[in-house]
């Protein structure tokens, strides 16, 4: 019984590590030039929260905020030095031109909402 | 990393109403949860509830279902958020609340439904705790909305500067139209006491306009035909017509709002550390909860189930990622907003932190320490030339010059109604002078080195020139047809507050350095008059950045204050660049901090705000880290072996709800920090 409970606890810890930290999230691809990715801001998450975009091409992310809490009132791209205020149910477009490959996080002001722009 | 642009609506008037709705909804949910929670606590405390045994199974289950219904209304959004974030492989605050409250309710249903299977000591239901926690989190969120609105005061104040309507003149008729309908080219009227609706150029009429919003200067500025007016400023008296030149997002006011909003979101380096912790925090807490359960299972006293339930639920509930996530941005928001209200636009979040470390401030003389509008003070001639001839030839040549003294000489010529003569073969040699043919005469105007380059003997007026240097005036030699013709002395008025502002910077522990292209003698005279002992003189415009680099090579942390195109490289190179707001676009874009007003005290104010903001951020981060570290360990039962201390889930949840509110309230204290000097900035 003791062994079983401890083993269960250990498996649970491994599951937490895998599910939240190691799992490869599905990417939403906006490879086409001029395409716009819609991102819904609601319930503590961006949907989708992993966007793949091509290098050296302009991409537009359109944020639609559904969450009335103050946490969701802004989105920040720290690596691009740009941020935007999000009004409820009002689309806000942010156009980026990444010229270096890599992962660029975007978050709410408190970093509770988290997303990644993956440039390849 | 790349370029970015943003098409967003400026926050609309709708937002405050929606926020108010959300606030009321949270309060309603708080009341719907707290009243039954208090009733349950009272019932338990005063023993109005029967003991939890076999006879209580049905009533207990019914109570559980009632509580479930209440939880669905008051806290359903946490469970929805937790499910959605779990599906997205994310863990958020909703995850912690849903797990804590859900586990508490499930355990309680287990206890009331199967009491005989649970040891007597472990027969405790947490229905009241579940309702309490959800109610307190809702209350905390509601209070946070209220407190956050105050931190947005600066941006709200800026947004309220623009009027809602404008008075348009069409075909001789005047009518009021919504501000959004104004287009560039429209002719608008502004009456006494009204705000200027958009940016434009005065076409008819004269008035005095209060531009304190822009410059911080309390004295109204006279406006007449051809003068610029800025949207949001206040027309004090008189009425005028103006043509709209910039509307909507292109107005100065809209750009200031955008700059303040952007700056409020940029975190100094210390804040990015907290972000890295935040991103792994919640899954880390879940792991801590599992470990807590295992420790109590393996080593805890009986009834183990009771202790496991109590400690695990408390660990999950007490951890608050919000306090950590909020600690930096809320203080930055208040600090940047406060700076904006004092006429400072902080464009770079790292500048907030670096300003703390500055040990040297370099002040460009012309336009920073001085008004930037030199005037001709004296003219001395050598026979056969007269004052009038000297001024006329010099002014004619200086038409093509961009130097600050050129406009002084042209103004003096205009004042004497002297006509300007045509010029051929004009040449400007930076840092030295100008040359050309004025009529039939070859004219040179410049400094001592320029005369030496052209083998012009200056002895007849050299002593006079040195006297002028001693009086902090700049003497320009004028040579006509290869011989000295005279000198024209110019002086730029020092800003009235320069001595006290320099003293204030020095009292902050800063080494103040004056940078100027003037000769050393003049430079030292000026510097001495305002209390500066360190001077870099005869610095050519293109050498300003090198002066900064030299100081940095001495391991100094350097701030540079300037306003001109020539200052841009030095501003960009300095550890913190301050641009005077009336300066060029290039200087403003190169700077970390834009000083909207004209007072030098604003530089010291910026450093004072930086110190206050960074202190506030550190207080918040320290509080958030300490709260979470101590809270989680105490909730896990670390103090139990020594003190028998365990945390009740209600207290854990309440502490979590209040922790982020504490951070917000502490940040709001920053609004009252004293950051200005006696003379207003």
Report the residue of A12, A41, A81, A99 to disrupt the B interface, i.e. the one with the largest count of B CBs within 10 Å. Answer: A81
Band (B509; pLDDT cuts 50, 70, 90):
very high
Band (A18; pLDDT cuts 50, 70, 90):
very high
CB contact at 8 A, B571 and B591: yes
CA of B674, closest CA in chain A: separation in Å? 26
Looking at residue B458, its pLDDT comes to 92
Residue-wise pLDDT tens digits, B66-84:
999 999 999 999 999 899 8
Q: How many angstroms separate the CA atoms of B450 and A5, rounded?
A: 91
Closest by Cβ to A80, choosing from B4, B11, B322? B4
Q: How many angstroms separate the CA atoms of B177 and B188, rounded?
A: 10
Chain B hits for A43, Cβ within 8 Å: 77, 80-81, 84-85, 94
Closest by Cβ to A82, choosing from B6, B19, B80? B6
Q: How many angstroms separate the CA atoms of B165 and B167, rounded?
A: 7
Give the position of tokens 């020095």: B506
Q: How many angstroms separate the CA atoms of B264 and A70, rounded?
A: 15
Using CB atoms within 10 Å of the CB of residue B591, give its burial: 0 to 12 exposed, 13 to 18 middle, 19+ buried: buried
Closest by Cβ to B94, choosing from A44, A80, A114? A44
Least confident piece of the model among A97-101, B502-506, B521-525: B521-525
pLDDT of B214 above 70? no
Cα B361 to the center of its chain, rounded Å: 20
pLDDT of A97 above 60? yes
Looking at residue B510, its pLDDT comes to 94
CA distances from B175 to B169, B187, B189, B236 (A): 7, 11, 10, 21
User: Does B618 or B521 have the greater pLDDT score?
Assistant: B618
Mean pLDDT, residues B310-332:
83
CB contact at 8 A, B349 and B266: yes
Looking at residue B404, its pLDDT comes to 66
Give the position of tokens 């359903």: B76
DSSP strand pairing (B360-364 vs B534-536): unpaired
Report the residue of A110, A118, A120 to disrupt the B interface, i.e. the one with the largest count of B CBs within 10 Å. Answer: A110
Q: Which residue of A has its CA nearest to B291?
A: A9
Looking at residue A29, its pLDDT comes to 65
Chain A hits for B21, Cβ within 8 Å: 68
CA distances from B86 to A43, B137, B275, B283, B519 (A): 11, 20, 20, 11, 70
Please indicate whether, in this complex, the C-beta atoms of A44 and B7 are within 8 angstroms of each other: no
The H-assigned helical ranges of B250-320 are: 252-265, 269-299, 304-318
Chain B hits for A6, Cβ within 8 Å: 294, 297-298
pLDDT of B156 above 80? no
What are the two backbone dihedrals, phi and then psi, of residue B36, each rounded to the nearest 5 degrees?
Answer: -65, -30
CA distances from B319 to B29, B88, B115, B286, B377 (A): 22, 21, 31, 10, 71
B18 touches chain A (CB under 8 A): yes
Please indicate whether, in this complex, the C-beta atoms of A88 and B18 are within 8 angstroms of each other: yes
Window 72-101 of B, Cβ < 8 Å to A: 77, 80-81, 84-85, 88-94
Looking at residue B13, its pLDDT comes to 35
- DSSP bridge pairs for B665: none
- Beta-carbon contacts of A59 under 8 Å, excluding residues fewer than 6 positions away, are A30, A35, A37, A51, A53, A95, A96, A97, A98, A117
Looking at residue B281, its pLDDT comes to 87
CA of A8, closest CA in chain B: separation in Å? 10
Cα B614 to the center of its chain, rounded Å: 12
Portion of chain B with pLDDT greater than 70, in percent: 90
CA of A41, closest CA in chain B: separation in Å? 11
What rounded mean pLDDT belongs to chain A?
A: 86
Q: How many angstroms separate the CA atoms of B176 and B165, rounded?
A: 6
What are the two backbone dihedrals, phi and then psi, of residue B294, each rounded to the nearest 5 degrees?
Answer: -65, -40
A105 CB-side CA count, 13 A: 12
Residue-wise pLDDT tens digits, B89-147:
888 888 888 988 998 899 899 889 988 877 776 778 889 888 988 888 888 888 777 76
Q: Which residues of B form the catalytic set?
A: 364
Q: How many angstroms separate the CA atoms of B18 and A70, rounded?
A: 11
The H-assigned helical ranges of B152-236 are: 153-159, 212-215
pLDDT of A54 above 80? yes
Looking at residue B452, its pLDDT comes to 92
Q: How many angstroms separate the CA atoms of B474 and B480, rounded?
A: 20
Chain A hits for B77, Cβ within 8 Å: 43
Looking at residue B154, its pLDDT comes to 67
Q: What is the DSSP string of B387-402?
A: HHHHHHHHHHHHTT--
B118 touches chain A (CB under 8 A): no
Looking at residue B553, its pLDDT comes to 92
Residue-wise pLDDT tens digits, B11-33:
433 466 777 888 899 999 999 99
CA of A31, closest CA in chain B: separation in Å? 17
Looking at residue B438, its pLDDT comes to 92
Band (B9; pLDDT cuts 50, 70, 90):
very low
CA of A72, closest CA in chain B: separation in Å? 12
Structure tokens that stand for B177 in this block: 């139209």
A17 touches chain B (CB under 8 A): yes
- Quick check: helix, strand or coil at residue B521? helix
Please indicate whether, in this complex, the C-beta atoms of B272 and A78 are within 8 angstroms of each other: yes
Cα A101 to the center of its chain, rounded Å: 17
A70 touches chain B (CB under 8 A): yes
Reported ipTM: the value is 0.84
B382 touches chain A (CB under 8 A): no
Residue-wise pLDDT tens digits, B566-580:
677 888 889 999 887
Band (B390; pLDDT cuts 50, 70, 90):
very high
Looking at residue A32, its pLDDT comes to 58
Q: Which residue of A has its CA nearest to B296?
A: A6
Chain B hits for A66, Cβ within 8 Å: none
B145 touches chain A (CB under 8 A): yes
pLDDT of B681 above 50? no
A27 touches chain B (CB under 8 A): no
A85 touches chain B (CB under 8 A): yes
Residue-wise pLDDT tens digits, B517-549:
777 877 888 898 889 999 998 887 778 888 899
pLDDT of B679 above 50? no
A11 touches chain B (CB under 8 A): no
- DSSP bridge pairs for B437: B424, B442
Band (A65; pLDDT cuts 50, 70, 90):
very high
Please indicate whether, in this complex, the C-beta atoms of A93 and B8 are within 8 angstroms of each other: yes
Q: Which residue of B has its CA nearest to A94?
A: B6
B305 touches chain A (CB under 8 A): no
Chain A hits for B299, Cβ within 8 Å: none
Chain A hits for B326, Cβ within 8 Å: 110
- Beta-carbon contacts of B568 under 8 Å, excluding residues fewer than 6 positions away, are B584, B586, B587, B589, B590
User: Does B159 or B585 have the greater pLDDT score?
Assistant: B159
Interior/surface letters B84-111, b for 16+ CB within 10 angstroms, e for the rest: bbbebbbbbbbbbbbbbbbbbbebbbbb
Best mean pLDDT range from B115-119, B303-307, B343-347: B303-307
Please indicate whether, in this complex, the C-beta atoms of B290 and A70 are within 8 angstroms of each other: no
User: Does A35 or B63 have the greater pLDDT score?
Assistant: B63
From B428, B521, B510, B439, select the one nearest B480 (Cα to Cα): B439
Beta strands in B439-581 (DSSP E): 441-446, 474-480, 483-491, 511-515, 534-536, 558-562, 576-580
CB contact at 8 A, A39 and A48: yes
Closest by Cβ to A20, choosing from B2, B19, B91? B91
pLDDT of B443 above 90? yes
The H-assigned helical ranges of B541-593 are: 544-553, 568-573, 585-590
CA of B141, closest CA in chain A: separation in Å? 8
From B543, B597, B613, select the one nearest B362 (Cα to Cα): B543
pTM: 0.74
pLDDT of B321 above 80? no
From B113, B33, B44, select the one nearest B77 (Cα to Cα): B33
Q: How many angstroms separate the CA atoms of B387 and B485, rounded?
A: 10
What rounded mean pLDDT belongs to chain B?
A: 84
Using CB atoms within 10 Å of the CB of residue B13, give its burial: 0 to 12 exposed, 13 to 18 middle, 19+ buried: exposed
Best mean pLDDT range from B66-75, B135-144, B242-251, B367-376: B66-75
Q: How many angstroms separate the CA atoms of B83 and B90, rounded?
A: 10
B624 touches chain A (CB under 8 A): no
What are the two backbone dihedrals, phi and then psi, of residue B247, each rounded to the nearest 5 degrees?
Answer: -130, 165
């Amino acid at each position: 019984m003791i062994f079983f409970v401890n083993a269960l606890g250990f498996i649970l810890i491994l599951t937490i590590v895998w599910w939240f930290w190691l799992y490869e999230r599905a990417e939403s691809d906006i490879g086409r030039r001029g395409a716009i990715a819609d991102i819904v801001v609601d319930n503590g998450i961006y949907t989708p929260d992993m966007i793949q975009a091509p290098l050296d091409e302009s991409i537009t992310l359109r944020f639609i905020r559904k969450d009335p809490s103050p946490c969701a009132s802004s989105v920040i791209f720290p690596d691009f030095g740009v941020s935007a205020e999000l009004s409820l149910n009002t689309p806000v477009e942010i156009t980026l031109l990444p010229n270096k490959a890599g992962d660029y996080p975007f978050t709410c002001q408190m970093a509770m909402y988290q997303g990644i722009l993956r440039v390849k | 990393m790349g370029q970015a642009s943003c098409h967003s609506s400026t926050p609309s008037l709708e937002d405050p109403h929606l926020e108010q709705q959300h606030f009321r909804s949270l309060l309603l949910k708080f009341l719907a949860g707290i009243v039954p929670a208090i009733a349950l606590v009272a019932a338990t405390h005063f023993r109005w509830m029967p003991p939890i045994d076999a006879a209580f199974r049905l009533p207990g289950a019914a109570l559980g279902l009632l509580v479930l219904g209440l939880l669905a209304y008051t806290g359903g959004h946490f469970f929805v958020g937790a499910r959605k974030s779990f599906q997205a492989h994310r863990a958020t605050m909703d995850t912690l609340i849903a797990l804590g409250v859900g586990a508490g309710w499930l355990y309680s249903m287990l206890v009331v439904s199967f009491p005989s299977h649970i040891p007597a000591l472990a027969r405790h239901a947490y229905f009241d705790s579940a309702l309490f926690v959800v109610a307190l989190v809702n209350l905390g969120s509601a209070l946070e909305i209220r407190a956050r609105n105050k931190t947005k005061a600066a941006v709200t104040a800026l947004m309220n500067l623009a009027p809602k309507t404008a008075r348009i003149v069409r075909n001789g008729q005047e009518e009021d139209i919504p501000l959004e309908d104004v287009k560039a080219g429209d002719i608008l009227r502004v009456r006494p006491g009204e705000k200027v609706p958009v940016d434009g150029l005065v076409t008819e009429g004269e008035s005095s306009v209060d531009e304190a919003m822009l410059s911080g200067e309390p004295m109204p500025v006279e406006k007449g035909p051809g003068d610029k007016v800025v949207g949001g400023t206040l027309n004090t008296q008189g009425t005028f017509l103006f043509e709209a030149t910039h509307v909507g997002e292109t107005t100065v006011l809209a750009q200031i709002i955008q700059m303040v909003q952007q700056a409020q979101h940029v975190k100094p380096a210390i804040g990015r550390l907290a972000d890295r912790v935040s991103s792994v925090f919640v899954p880390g807490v879940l792991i801590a909860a599992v470990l807590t359960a295992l420790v109590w299972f393996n080593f805890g006293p009986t009834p183990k189930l009771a202790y496991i339930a109590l400690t695990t639920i408390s660990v999950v509930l007490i951890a608050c990622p919000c306090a950590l996530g909020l600690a930096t941005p809320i203080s930055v928001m208040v600090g940047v907003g406060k700076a904006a209200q004092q006429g400072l636009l902080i464009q770079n979040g790292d500048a907030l932190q670096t300003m703390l470390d500055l040990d040297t401030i370099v002040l460009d003389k012309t336009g920073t320490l001085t008004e930037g509008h030199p005037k001709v003070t004296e003219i001395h001639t050598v026979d056969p030339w007269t004052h009038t001839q000297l001024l006329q030839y010099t002014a004619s040549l200086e038409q093509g010059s961009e130097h600050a003294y050129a406009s002084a000489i042209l103004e003096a010529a205009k004042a004497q109604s002297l006509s300007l003569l045509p010029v051929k073969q004009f040449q400007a040699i930076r840092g030295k002078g100008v040359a050309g043919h004025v009529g039939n005469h070859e004219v040179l105007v410049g400094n001592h080195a320029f005369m030496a380059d052209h083998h012009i003997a200056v002895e007849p007026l050299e002593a006079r020139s040195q006297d002028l240097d001693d009086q902090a005036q700049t003497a320009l030699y004028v040579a006509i047809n290869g011989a000295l013709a005279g000198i024209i002395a110019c002086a730029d008025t020092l800003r009235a507050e320069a001595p006290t502002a320099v003293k204030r910077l020095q009292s902050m522990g800063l080494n103040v350095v004056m940078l100027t292209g003037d000769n050393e003698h003049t430079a030292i005279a000026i510097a001495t008059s305002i209390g500066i002992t360190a001077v870099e003189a005869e610095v050519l415009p293109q050498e300003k950045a090198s002066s900064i680099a030299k100081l940095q090579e001495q391991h100094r942390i350097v701030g540079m204050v300037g306003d001109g195109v020539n200052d841009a490289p030095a501003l960009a190179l300095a550890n913190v660049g301050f641009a005077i707001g009336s300066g060029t676009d290039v200087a403003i874009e190169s700077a970390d901090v834009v000083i909207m007003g004209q007072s030098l005290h604003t530089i010291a104010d910026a450093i004072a705000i930086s110190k206050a903001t960074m202190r506030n951020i550190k207080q918040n981060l320290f509080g958030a880290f300490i709260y979470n570290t101590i809270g989680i360990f105490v909730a896990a039962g670390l103090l139990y072996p020594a003190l028998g201390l365990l945390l009740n889930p209600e207290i854990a949840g309440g502490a979590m709800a209040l922790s982020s509110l504490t951070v917000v309230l502490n940040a709001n204290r920053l609004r009252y920090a004293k950051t200005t000097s006696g003379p207003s900035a």
